[in-house]
Amino acid sequence: MAKVRAVAIMTKRKSEDAKAAAEKISKMLRAAGVGTFAISPLKISGCDTIEPEQAKGKADLVFAIGGDGTTLKAFRVIPGDIPLLSINIGGHRGILSEVYTNNMESAVKEMLAGKCFYDSRIRIQASAGKEAFPPALNEILLTRADLSRTPTVSIKLMGDEIKHRMDGIVVSTPTGSTGHNLSIGGPVLHEGMSCLILSPIAPVNKMPQIVIPVEEIVVKSTHRMHIVVDGQETFTVKAGQEVRVARYPHDVRFLRLQKKGMRQLAKLGF
């Protein structure tokens, strides 16, 4: 990998532990001659603060310090495919994380020495009409907005159409297979695979989870639907409006220090 000249740091909001880690890491980086930026609203002593969209062109690498939620948000708000090192401080599981509090300083030294590699993952994006919603690394949830009514959901994929009464569906990437998908009985996939998981939510007639190629999926409901992106942002579409879910053109790149087989399963304790 190319030499890292500048790093942008993003932290979990309102986490003093994450902010303290950012200060410590910033000092290490600057002592090694690496430029450091803080991503707003974070403030780091001796560093300029920039907006997320400014990271492109200024930084070669992003540090996301917090939990999985911080990592997911960082990939969503920072443009392009800038690689990211995920540091779990204050998160619950840290399934996406590479570094923890106890190995934070040694990890930074390994990164500076070039003892690391990139791990690419696919993303997906939903759109409705001319509106494109933010990209998702884990999953896109399409669920009924009116809790007192069970809609009929139409799913078109690979030239076929499926219609069932159900609460909604989850379209998951392999990275997100250990997230919402797993909680509703979906399969766990190796995160490096190139495919998607389609998981129905409470179908009236039994419908299995389906692993499909990465192709466009068109979803339409007889009632209003909420679109939830990585469990963090929610949008609403009208009844009968087509929602298209397709691969996002920019994959994400994690910075990794160690090769692992089923990384996510190991993090879950299996």
Q: What is the pLDDT of residues 189-215, one digit of tens each?
A: 988 889 999 999 999 988 889 999 999
Instruction: Give the percent of the chain with pLDDT over 70.
Output: 93
> Residue 4 has what pLDDT?
85
Please determine, for residue 257, whether its predicted confidence score (pLDDT) is greater than 90. no
Return the SS3 of 25: helix
pLDDT at 95: 84
Nearest 5°: the CA angle 185, 186, 190 is 135
* Pairwise pLDDT comparison (64 vs 260), residue with the higher score: 64
- pLDDT of 270 > 60? The answer is no
Question: What global pTM score does this model have?
Answer: 0.90
Tens of pLDDT, residues 22-36:
999 999 999 999 999
Query: Is 68 an annotated catalytic residue?
Result: yes
Query: How sure is the predictor about 114, in pLDDT bands with cuts at 50, 70 and 90?
Result: confident
How far apart are alpha carbons 123 and 130 in whole angstroms? 20
Catalytic residue among 17, 68, 146, 160: 68
- All domains in the chain, ordered by first residue: 6-121+251-262 (3.40.50.10330), 124-247 (2.60.200.30)
Please state the rounded mean pLDDT for residues 72-97: 86
CA atoms within 13 A on the CB side of 229: 22
State pLDDT tens for residues 118-139. 999 999 999 999 999 999 999 9
- In the prediction, which pLDDT does 192 show? 84
Residue by residue, DSSP assigns 159-191 as: TEEEEEE-SEEEEE-SGGGGTHHHHTTPPP--T
- Average per-residue pLDDT for the chain: 91
Residue 156 has a CB neighbour count (10 Å cut-off) of: 16
Of 192 and 64, the one with more pLDDT: 64
pLDDT at residue 2 is higher than 80: no
